[in-house]
Amino acid sequence: MIGVIPREGQTQVVTEFFELFKTPWELFKSGRRYEVVIATADVLPEIDAKVVFAYGAESKNVDSAHRFVIGSRPSGAYLPYRKTSLPIYGEFAIFETAAGSVPFVTTSVGPGGLRTVTPAGQVVLRIGYDLFEEVQHLLSKGQPREQAHVPTLDLHIELLKYWILNEAIPFLEVSSVPDGYNFTVCLTHDIDFVGIRNHKFDHTMWGFLLRSTAGAAWKFLNGRIALDRLMQCWKAAASLPFVLLGWAKDFWEPFGWYLTEERGLGATYFLIPFKGRSGERVPGRHASRRAAPYEVAELTEWTAALQQQGCELGIHGIDAWHSTEQGRIESEKIARSVNNSPSGVRIHWLLQDDNTPVVLDRTGFTYDSTAGYNETIGYLNGTGQVFRPLGALHLLEIPLHIQDGALFYPQNLNLTDAEAEQRCQVLLSNACQLGGVLTLLWHDRSHAAERFWGDFYIQMIQTLKSFGVWFATCAQAVEWFQARRQVHFDFRGTGDGAVTTVRYQGKAPRHPFKLKIYRPATADGANPGSRDAAVTCAELPWDGEANLAFDASLYRILEARPVSP
């Protein structure tokens, strides 16, 4: 069991951190014996624990007790971890080595963490940054796009787990992945256009003609597209008058194509509630272009077909990001048009500010999926997990990771298919290792001329199928994470007689939970803290129907008691 001693004002972020690192914990209680204590407070009480993690760049009372001396406090430091560098966004204390202490966190400018053992055998790990301050920064402000490729918050969890296991402490975790899968995938579509037939003689039509003729020729001459793709672009441009007159199929119509390619996978479609509304408080020179030429009420035939195929319909919000009143109006419009109340929202153009999570929470949405980048792919909040934004009471955020426009737009990454595959492969590998959700956004016209990003998308789906993933709608994924948040831990006894009970009293989850039991086994000749301890991880499927009680070593299940009705 982990006891936590946070700084003042950190309780909410601590609670959310341990919803992501779902392991037994509680706020520190004086007089209780703990395996591990994590502290960011500057003044620590008397602690009865095997291992104490003392985080923070400021001086603490443990520093004088163990002769820890802070040499400098640089900002913008990086912590080497495995094959990446973990960015630290707050201050990072660099320590002077002291007698009796061993550096265990290294940086390019000196030791960022010291390990010492007291005469009583207690291990004290002094770490030069505030873990919960970093988590708060990630969940509120997010990461700059230069660090988008790093799942920073998830790596903070992995690093803490690594350090705990290095001290030969076993622990239990409820995985962020349902049993039987490697990770969850949400296929999503923002429906901005519906078809080119709605764009007679506007900037969208003229832009298409320019890109599909001269633009396509430039790409061909520079080796960016093949000759057959150039011919397809020119063919689409030549057919445009017939499309506008209704004499030829609208090549931008998205629903039939996606329903065919995603059959049985259950995608999520975010639909515009009102046509011709660009919205209020829209930044940029071309705010008027945010207005869509369609609205959800015009799509009744397609929305019925989507729902029949198991797809989810959500709101592509216009003003919901800053107004609860407008959010409720937009929600009611979608509900009337599709005969079903939408549970989730993604804001058009990914507009948001610091108050957006609270506004959406008060509006009554179950989840939001706006947290992502327009310019790049990766982890805006440093995580692949569904999380609760700070300040929200009920709303959950399902982060957006891979967007077509970020990969291929000339003003964004402007990648070739091969380069895009390499960039996406990094995120797929992270999802396999770290779990959680990988959310993809492919826009409505991305499969057609002049983009032709559909082939890449089809290949991505085939690759994802080979990874053994759960394809879920956003609502289904959020529902499963909501269930995981209803798993609780109870404790009784202390020391070797301690018992941890795992219990769940929600409705049966769509897929069972996966309990992961980590048991360190120190390698021959190695000591705890030496970074060469062997670890075993047992996995146990659990549907939550029976409470499970584990002994202190986590080697035995003492009882499996059915939950009382």
CA 407/CA 245 separation, integer angstroms: 33
Q: What is the pLDDT of residue 561?
A: 56
CA 539/CA 530 separation, integer angstroms: 26
Mean pLDDT within 319-336: 97
Residues 49 and 59 in one domain: yes
Q: What is the pLDDT of residue 524?
A: 41
In a domain? residue 165: no
Residues 473 and 493 in one domain: no
Asked if the model's pLDDT at residue 525 lies above 60, the reply is no
Residues 129 and 105 in one domain: yes
**DSSP conformation class of 211:** I
Instruction: Give 533 or 231, the one with higher predicted confidence.
Output: 231
Residues 246 and 289 in one domain: no
Asked if the model's pLDDT at residue 516 lies above 50, the reply is yes
Instruction: Name the 3-class secondary structure at 188.
Output: strand
Mean pLDDT within 452-472: 96
CA torsion through residues 361, 364, 365, 366, sign: positive
- Bridge partners, residue 52, by sequence: 37, 124
- Vertex 165, ends 161 and 167: CA angle to 5°? 125
In a domain? residue 120: yes
Asked if the model's pLDDT at residue 207 lies above 60, the reply is yes
Residues 210 and 279 in one domain: no
Mean pLDDT within 474-500: 90
The pTM of the full predicted model, rounded to 2 decimals, is 0.94
CA torsion through residues 109, 113, 115, 118, sign: positive
- Bridge partners, residue 317, by sequence: 347
Mean pLDDT within 138-155: 97
CATH code, domain carrying 113 = 3.40.50.880
CA 22/CA 555 separation, integer angstroms: 19
CA 421/CA 168 separation, integer angstroms: 39
Task: Among 465, 480, 495, give the residue marking a domain's end.
Answer: 480
Token pair of 142 as six digits: 């997010």
- Bridge partners, residue 43, by sequence: none
- Among 399, 445, 411, 406, CA closest to 423: 406
| Cα–Cα distances in angstroms (integers) from residue 125 to residues 103, 173, 279, in the given order | 9, 22, 51
Residues 242 and 353 in one domain: no
Asked if the model's pLDDT at residue 564 lies above 50, the reply is no
CA torsion through residues 287, 190, 457, 513, sign: positive
Note the pLDDT tens digit of each residue in 257-291: 999 999 999 999 999 999 999 999 999 888 999 99
Residues 312 and 343 in one domain: yes
Q: Which domain holds residue 387?
A: 184-195+254-480
Mean pLDDT within 458-469: 96
Instruction: Give 463 or 492, the one with higher predicted confidence.
Output: 463
Mean pLDDT within 28-32: 92
Instruction: Give 339 or 317, the one with higher predicted confidence.
Output: 317
Helix ranges, 174-317 (H): 203-210, 216-221, 227-244, 255-261, 300-308
- Bridge partners, residue 537, by sequence: 518
CA 104/CA 112 separation, integer angstroms: 8
pLDDT confidence band for 560 (50 / 70 / 90): low
pLDDT confidence band for 523 (50 / 70 / 90): very low
In a domain? residue 296: yes
In a domain? residue 40: yes
Mean pLDDT score of the chain: 92
Task: Among 425, 454, 480, give the residue marking a domain's end.
Answer: 480
Q: What is the pLDDT of residue 521?
A: 67
Q: What one-letter code names the amino acid at 140?
A: S
Question: Total structural domains in the chain?
Answer: 4
Residues 466 and 485 in one domain: no
CA 415/CA 516 separation, integer angstroms: 38
In a domain? residue 302: yes
Note the pLDDT tens digit of each residue in 343-395: 999 999 999 999 999 999 999 999 999 999 999 999 999 999 999 999 999 99
Asked if the model's pLDDT at residue 30 lies above 80, the reply is yes
CA 96/CA 101 separation, integer angstroms: 10
Instruction: Give 352 or 519, the one with higher predicted confidence.
Output: 352
Residues 495 and 432 in one domain: no
Q: What is the CA radius of gyration of the chain?
A: 26
Asked if the model's pLDDT at residue 565 lies above 50, the reply is no
Asked if the model's pLDDT at residue 319 lies above 70, the reply is yes
CA torsion through residues 254, 257, 259, 261, sign: negative
Cβ atoms within 10 Å of 197's Cβ, excluding its own: 20
Q: What is the pLDDT of residue 498?
A: 80
Note the pLDDT tens digit of each residue in 59-110: 999 998 898 989 888 887 888 888 888 999 999 999 987 778 899 988 878 8
Spatial CB neighbours of 49, under 8 Å, sequence gap ≥ 6: 3, 33, 34, 35, 36, 37, 122
pLDDT confidence band for 526 (50 / 70 / 90): very low
Mean pLDDT within 292-307: 95
Instruction: Name the 3-class secondary structure at 543.
Output: coil
pLDDT confidence band for 562 (50 / 70 / 90): low
Note the pLDDT tens digit of each residue in 125-136: 999 999 999 999
Q: What is the DSSP string of 59-80?
A: --HHHHHHT-EEEE--BS-EEE
Q: What is the pLDDT of residue 535?
A: 74
| Cα–Cα distances in angstroms (integers) from residue 49 to residues 5, 33, 52, 124, 361, in the given order | 13, 6, 7, 10, 39
For residues 558 and 551, is the Cβ–Cβ distance under 8 A?
Answer: yes
CA 275/CA 194 separation, integer angstroms: 12
CA 360/CA 323 separation, integer angstroms: 8
Q: What is the DSSP string of 105-116?
A: EEETTEEEEEEE
Task: Among 480, 495, 524, give the residue marking a domain's end.
Answer: 480
Residues 470 and 488 in one domain: no
In a domain? residue 488: yes
For residues 406 and 400, is the Cβ–Cβ distance under 8 A?
Answer: no
Per-residue HEC secondary structure of 451-512 comes to: CCCHHHHHHHHHHHHHCCCEECCHHHHHHHHHHHCCEEEEEECCHHHCEEEEEECCCCCCCC
Residues 450 and 493 in one domain: no
For residues 90 and 105, is the Cβ–Cβ distance under 8 A?
Answer: no
Residues 362 and 379 in one domain: yes
| Cα–Cα distances in angstroms (integers) from residue 440 to residues 149, 390, 401, 471, 473, in the given order | 15, 24, 6, 11, 11
In a domain? residue 154: no
In a domain? residue 350: yes
pLDDT confidence band for 493 (50 / 70 / 90): confident
Instruction: Name the 3-class secondary structure at 293.
Output: coil
